[in-house]
Amino acid sequence: MVTSTSAERVADQPGDSADGSPTATSSPAASPEEISAPPLSGLTVAIDPGHNGGNGAHPDTISADVPDGRGGTKACNTVGTSSDDGYPEHRFTWETAQEVQTALSDAGAEVVMSRSSDDSAGPCVDERGRFADAADALVSLHGNGTEDRSARGFHVITAPAGGRAGDDTARTSEALGRALAEALEATGFDRNPAYDDLVVRTDLATLNNAAVPAVMLEAGEMRNAEDAELLESRQGQEHIAEAVVTALTAVFGDAAP
Ligand SMILES: [Zn+2]
């Protein structure tokens, strides 16, 4: 956007080159900051928009047992939750994933997605972890469905080592999870006080089946009216995307420790 605006301004001022003032070619060279690579160039990020709009119409598919990543099995997928005004979790995760994809691309990252539409069924939770083998990190997007409508706020989940991830990967997942929570707070999202700063669970097959650093974001409580309004808003979704970029940059970016 900025580039095209500047270009238009230049084009609107024909006197720039005709009146002897410096032209673009004689301008000072761009500073190193301006020509350095974007912060996430070289990184491939797997984005998993939770659930899918066709899951409800395919109960046999989504109830099938699949590997849970720790030696057991789990149902392929679920329909997910929904806000009281009828905004389904699968649409929230799908729409937010588009914002995340754009923000990551702008930051120089490659993006792979676990699903390519919001009106089919699956993939199953094991595949939602395994598809990230093609990436350097996995971010799984969800909205939570606590029955208590006064509950609100986000929480971030990782899995400990013992699934497909080893100790180093699990540690990086934790670092990424904490960075994501901090970045979300910085954009104005509130933590759900019912949860730890970072929730560590062994029962989430998406995370267990990931061999790369992986986090799951429960971005808010969809049955809470205030959270639902935030999650349904373009601004709320953009803030999530911004936070994902900030967190990945903190852990994987050029300036990361
Ligand atoms: Zn979910």
Tell me, in angstroms, the distance from the centre of ligand 1 to residue 144's CA: 6
Q: Residue written as tokens 């761009």? A: 30
Give the separation between CA 40 and CA 205, rounded to whole angstroms: 27
- What is the predicted pLDDT for the residue at 140? 99
CB 70 within 8 A of CB 163: yes
- What is the predicted pLDDT for the residue at 50? 98
Tell me, in angstroms, the distance from the centre of ligand 1 to residue 140's CA: 9
Q: What is the DSSP string of the chain?
A: -HHHHHHHHHHT-THHHHTS---GGGSPPPPHHHHSPPTTTT-EEEEEE-S-TTGGG-HHHHHSEEE-SSSSEEES-----B-TTS-BHHHHHHHHHHHHHHHHHHTT-EEEES-S-SSS----HHHHHHGGGGSSEEEEEEEE--S-TT---BEEEE--TTSS--HHHHHHHHHHHHHHHHHHHHTTPPB-TTS-SSEE-S--HHHHT-SS-EEEEEEEETTSHHHHHHHHSHHHHHHHHHHHHHHHHHHHSTT--
Nearest CA to 143 out of 210, 176, 97 is that of 97
Structure-block tokens of residue 38: 């974007």
- What is the predicted pLDDT for the residue at 54? 98
CB 162 within 8 A of CB 154: no
**Residue 34 annotated as catalytic:** no
Tell me, in angstroms, the distance from the centre of ligand 1 to residue 92's CA: 10
CB 118 within 8 A of CB 90: yes
Tell me, in angstroms, the distance from the centre of ligand 1 to residue 168's CA: 26
* pLDDT tens, the chain, 257 aa long: 344 433 333 334 443 444 444 444 444 555 555 567 899 999 999 999 999 999 999 999 999 999 999 999 999 999 999 999 999 999 999 999 999 999 999 999 999 999 999 999 999 999 999 999 999 999 999 999 999 999 999 999 999 999 999 999 999 999 999 999 999 999 999 999 999 999 999 999 999 999 999 999 999 999 999 999 999 999 999 999 999 999 999 999 976 76
- Within 10 angstroms of residue 106's Cβ, the number of other Cβ atoms is 12
Catalytic residue among 127, 218, 221, 242: 218
